[in-house]
Structure 1
Amino acid sequence: MIRLRPATEADLAEIVALSNWAYRGTGEAASWTVESYLEGERTTKDTLRADLAATPSAQILTWRDEAGELQGHCWLEPGADDVWYLGLLSVRPDRQDRKLGRTLLSAAEDYARERGARRMQMTVINVRDTLIAWYERRGYGLTGETRAFPYGDDRFGKPLRDDLCFVVLERAL
């Protein structure tokens, strides 16, 4: 069992570095979940601060090992009807073969469940078939709902394709 802690301002630089490594990293230590159809940074400290300020009920949870090294993090946001949103799930790409992603996902689900969540929802870019399949193996299902990709808003990177949208996945907790 891992312990998740709400991020503080002091954690933001590490969260940004890990997010950008996990989502946009290249080279030998790149993640299998890298978003090669977007260029630029996945996030910045200013973007995270603005998102947290705009959504006061949300928080970024961090997972550190015994030595204090950041292993992963995620965004959790309570919503209507006890449906919580999970986003920005990131683990160290150089340690993904140790099942860190599924461990963090399970801990995030437990954290939300302990606070009243009955369902967890997320969005994934439609062309991320391997990642969607990974979430499906963990009990998430496609709802059939899609959401527009924010073309023209380069805060999350510049798209290299014109066919992107988000699919919504959900699972009962």
Structure 2
Amino acid sequence: MNLEHATEADFPEIIDLVNTAYRGNGAVASWNIETGIIEGTRLTDSLLRQDLAAKPQAHFLVTRDSESHAIIGTVWLEPLKNDAWYLGLFTVAPALQKQHLGRALLTAAEEFAIAHGARSMRMGVLSVRDTLIAWYERRGYHRTGETEPYPYDDNRFGTPLRDDLEFAIVEKCL
């Protein structure tokens, strides 16, 4: 799978893809949308630009359809400390899910991080998303026992619909 750095020209397509995949506002619903958990917009142009400016060491990568060149997946990779990397904004076009594209994208992201010095990958997954956590566990990730609070005071990522949200930290040794 070919990964390339996202460009500013890609932002509108990325934003549409992320919002469709996370919040299910497209014609084909993702198997892992956040319905009943968080509503509203997941990503905006200004939020994406803020994140990129605040974390210049991060790599925001996309993969494209080989024929149409449409963006069909995204992943945010960010070096942390002690050779650990953070994985976020992992997105696959809902119409292409169940074709193992997510597995291939995750493998490509891990290989990219390894090539850049990563020895482990970490991410935060909403702890109430058992099906999604199980998907990552089948790919070698495990719960660390660490959690991070959900930012209830920050509606930039949408409006939470539950009061029991937190991020479970999962990790994989690469």
Alignment TM-score, normalising by the size of structure 1: 0.97
Give the secondary structure class of the aligned counterpart of 1:46: helix
The equivalent residue for 2:21 is: 22
Q: CA deviation at 1:71?
A: 1.1
The equivalent residue for 1:80 is: 81
Q: Aligned-residue CA RMSD in angstroms?
A: 1.0
Q: Distance in 2 between matches of 1:97 and 1:166?
A: 25
Q: Distance in 2 between matches of 1:21 and 1:56?
A: 26
Q: How many residues align?
A: 172
Matches of residues 2-151 of structure 1 in structure 2 within 5 Å?
Answer: 2-26=1-25, 29-36=28-35, 37-67=37-67, 68-151=69-152
Q: CA deviation at 1:65?
A: 1.8
* Unpaired segments ≥5 residues, structure 2: none
Q: Distance in 2 between matches of 1:87 and 1:6?
A: 14
* Unpaired segments ≥5 residues, structure 1: none
Q: CA deviation at 1:28?
A: 5.8
The structure where helix makes up a greater share of residues is 1
Give the secondary structure class of the aligned counterpart of 1:81: coil
Moved more, 137-146 or 52-61: 52-61
Q: Distance in 1 between matches of 2:63 and 2:27?
A: 24
Moved more, 70-79 or 18-27: 18-27
Q: Where has structure 1 moved over 2 Å in runs of 4 or more?
A: none
Identical residues among aligned pairs (%): 56
Alignment TM-score, normalising by the size of structure 2: 0.96
